[in-house]
Structure 1
Amino acid sequence: MLVFTAKRVVRALLVILFATFLVVALLSIAPGSLAVTLLGDAATPDAVAELEARLGLDEPLWEQYFGWLGDAVTGDFGTSLRTRQDVLDSVLERLPVTLELALLALVIALAVSVPMALAAANRPGSPIDRVSTFLASVGLALPAFVVAPVLVYFLSVQAGLFPVAGWERVGEGVGANLHHALLPAIAVAIPEIAAFQRLLRTDLDSTLHEDFISAARARGLSRSYILWRHALRPSSFSLVTLAGISFGRLIGGTVIVEAVFTLPGLGSLIAGSIASRDVIAVQGAVAFIVIAYVVINTLVDIGYGFLDPRVRREAV
């Protein structure tokens, strides 16, 4: 188990290093310059070069990266070149919004997908099964950046059920907070509902062919009772694993939705920093998201290994 855990930790560190370096590399080749953004289009080339030298933007790419990395391992994610605000403080200030959105989306996805999968498995080949399978396929094909504007138009603009944009913090009232958070969370949750439903439906179908299920049927138990009490728990193993991984991914996957609903989360921080070419702010925010995702994913992998010895044997 020690070797299995060590491999997962090493892989997590490599992913973090690669992702953060990739951010710097991509921003370095993108058109535009932070110095030009700060000084304006009328700035002279000498003024731009002087500011870039003062900000360290004229250094080689690898020097910029390893300089940042040396500070990051001590918890210093740098200072925004544009706002002069500590990047870690900016991330922590916006993190509650993104965490709430991701958690609420995960809860909605599980609350909808589990009954859908149970209803479909209870009557294989029935209209309920076919409709739920069709809806799951549609949900998988619709990304959040397509779903979000559609929901805003129909449920906010036309029906007036939800605000078009804005955010209310929990401290200002739970009801007001949920009123603003629910629609963005639904937009994020729809693809997750589809993925969870299909996975659980497949696992339920496999479990229902096991011998212990046949024994339960021989005792005269109803199909619904067998699904809830005997089949759901052993079929939920993969779902729990996917839910854990999805939560980590959702922390960094709400950028488009936050932009559509103008939410003050990590997504809007990254989008604004990219637009202004604020390399340090983008790198710090992305590093934080990558670390969160990798840590959650690694914990899920290690937990999977504890629960299923076959995973440990295959990984060694």
Structure 2
Amino acid sequence: MVLTALRRVARSALVVLLVSFLVVALLSLAPGSLAEVILGENATPEAVADLNARLGLDGSLFQQYFDWLGGAVQGDLGTSLLTGQPVLQTILERLPVTLELALLAQIIALSVAVPLAIGAASRPGGLLDRSISALSSMFLSIPAFVAAPVLVYFFAISLQLFPVTGWAPLSEGIGPNLQAALLPSVAIALNEIAAFQRLLRTDLANTLREDFISAARAKGISSSYVMLRHALRPSSFSLITLAGLSTGRLIGGTVIVESLFSLPGLGQLVSSSITSRDVIVVQGVVAFVAVTYVLLNTVVDLSYGLLDPRLRQEATR
């Protein structure tokens, strides 16, 4: 058990290192530099070289990366070369917005997908199953950058139920906060609803054909009790895995939605930092998201034993 945990930690650390290095390598291929952004288009090559030296950007790619890595392993993700603010402080200031969007999107997706999957799996091949399958296909084919403007047009501009852009923190009240967060969360959740529903529906349909389900039905237990008590829990493993993975992905994948709705989250921070070539900020955010993703995967693995006691018994043998 300990050896397995150590291997998982080693693999996770390697993933974080590779991801953070690849980000820096890709940004280095883009034309221009932070010094050129700061000094403007009319800056002389001598002035650009001098500012790069003062910012510590005149070293090799590997030198810059390992200088950053030395501080990162101690919890110091560096300081923004553009604003002078510590990267970790900036991330923690922006994180609540992105985290709320991701969690609210997951709640919406699971709240809609689970009942749809149960309804579809209760009568496979029936009219309800085919209708839900068509609805899931529609949701799956609509990317967030298309869903967001459509939702804004109907619910913010036409019906005026939600603000078009902007953010209201929880300190201003839960009502204004949900008004600002709901539309972007729904735009993110549409794809997740389709993916969750299809996966859980398939697993439920397979579980309902198992012998222990037939035995439960033979005892005269109601179909709803069999579905919710006996079939749903063992059918949820794949759903929990996908939900955990998608939560980590959503935390780092809200760039487009946050930009469209002008939300002060991590996505907008990465977008503006890439434009301004603030490599340290981009590197810090990517490393933070990668670590979060890895931790969520670990939590997902540990949650299996809570759903199925047989897994806990096997782990203790």
Report TM bin, short chain: over 0.9
Separation in 1 of the partners of 2:305 and 2:236?
A: 16
Separation in 2 of the partners of 1:234 and 1:270?
A: 39
Shift of 1:183: 0.6
Separation in 2 of the partners of 1:131 and 1:30?
A: 47
**Structure 1 equivalent of residue 54 of structure 2:** 54
Q: Secondary structure at the match of 2:192?
A: helix
Separation in 2 of the partners of 1:59 and 1:39?
A: 20
Shift of 1:227: 1.3
Separation in 2 of the partners of 1:220 and 1:154?
A: 48
Instruction: Give, as a single letter, the amino acid of the residue that structure 2 aligns with 1:193.
Output: I
- Indicate how the Cα distance of structure 1 residues 301 and 226 shifts in structure 2: closer, same or farther if over 3 A, else same: closer
Shift of 1:309: 5.4
> Could you list the per-position Cα deviations for residues 104-162 of structure 1 after superposition, in whole angstroms to 9, with x for gaps in the alignment?
01111110000000111112212210111122222222222222122112221222221
**Structure 2 equivalent of residue 202 of structure 1:** 202
**Structure 2 equivalent of residue 299 of structure 1:** 299
**Structure 2 equivalent of residue 274 of structure 1:** 274
73-82 vs 243-252, greater mean Cα deviation: 243-252
Q: What does residue range 44-123 of structure 1 map to in structure 2 within 5 Å?
A: 44-123=44-123
> Could you list the per-position Cα deviations for residues 249-294 of structure 1 after superposition, in whole angstroms to 9, with x for gaps in the alignment?
2111111111111100001110000000001111111111111111
Separation in 2 of the partners of 1:229 and 1:20?
A: 44
244-253 vs 78-87, greater mean Cα deviation: 244-253
Separation in 2 of the partners of 1:35 and 1:304?
A: 50
**Structure 1 equivalent of residue 183 of structure 2:** 183
Separation in 1 of the partners of 2:69 and 2:198?
A: 41
38-47 vs 149-158, greater mean Cα deviation: 149-158
Shift of 1:76: 0.8
Separation in 1 of the partners of 2:18 and 2:222?
A: 53
> Could you list the per-position Cα deviations for residues 201-221 of structure 1 after superposition, in whole angstroms to 9, with x for gaps in the alignment?
011001100111111221233
Cα contact 1:213–1:226 (8 A) shared by 2: yes
Q: What does residue range 15-26 of structure 1 map to in structure 2 within 5 Å?
A: 15-26=15-26
**Structure 2 stretches of 5 or more lacking a match?**
none
Shift of 1:20: 0.4
Aligned-pair Cα RMSD in Å: 1.8
Separation in 1 of the partners of 2:16 and 2:250?
A: 17
**Structure 1 stretches of 5 or more lacking a match?**
none
Separation in 2 of the partners of 1:302 and 1:128?
A: 35
Separation in 2 of the partners of 1:305 and 1:66?
A: 39
**Structure 1 equivalent of residue 147 of structure 2:** 147
**Structure 2 equivalent of residue 223 of structure 1:** 223
Q: Secondary structure at the match of 2:76?
A: coil
Separation in 2 of the partners of 1:127 and 1:156?
A: 34
Q: Secondary structure at the match of 1:234?
A: coil
Q: Which has the higher contact order (CA 8 A, sep 6+)?
A: 1
**Structure 2 equivalent of residue 214 of structure 1:** 214
Instruction: Give, as a single letter, the amino acid of the residue that structure 1 aligns with 2:25.
Output: A
Separation in 2 of the partners of 1:296 and 1:70?
A: 25
Instruction: Give, as a single letter, the amino acid of the residue that structure 2 aligns with 1:74.
Output: Q
Give the TM-score normalised by the residue count of structure 1: 0.94
**Structure 1 equivalent of residue 162 of structure 2:** 162
Q: Secondary structure at the match of 2:234?
A: helix
Instruction: Give, as a single letter, the amino acid of the residue that structure 2 aligns with 1:287.
Output: A
Cα contact 2:237–2:304 (8 A) shared by 1: no
Cα contact 1:122–1:224 (8 A) shared by 2: no
Cα contact 2:240–2:300 (8 A) shared by 1: no
1-10 vs 215-224, greater mean Cα deviation: 215-224
Q: Secondary structure at the match of 1:235?
A: coil
> Could you list the per-position Cα deviations for residues 4-33 of structure 1 after superposition, in whole angstroms to 9, with x for gaps in the alignment?
222211110011000100111011011221
Shift of 1:303: 4.6
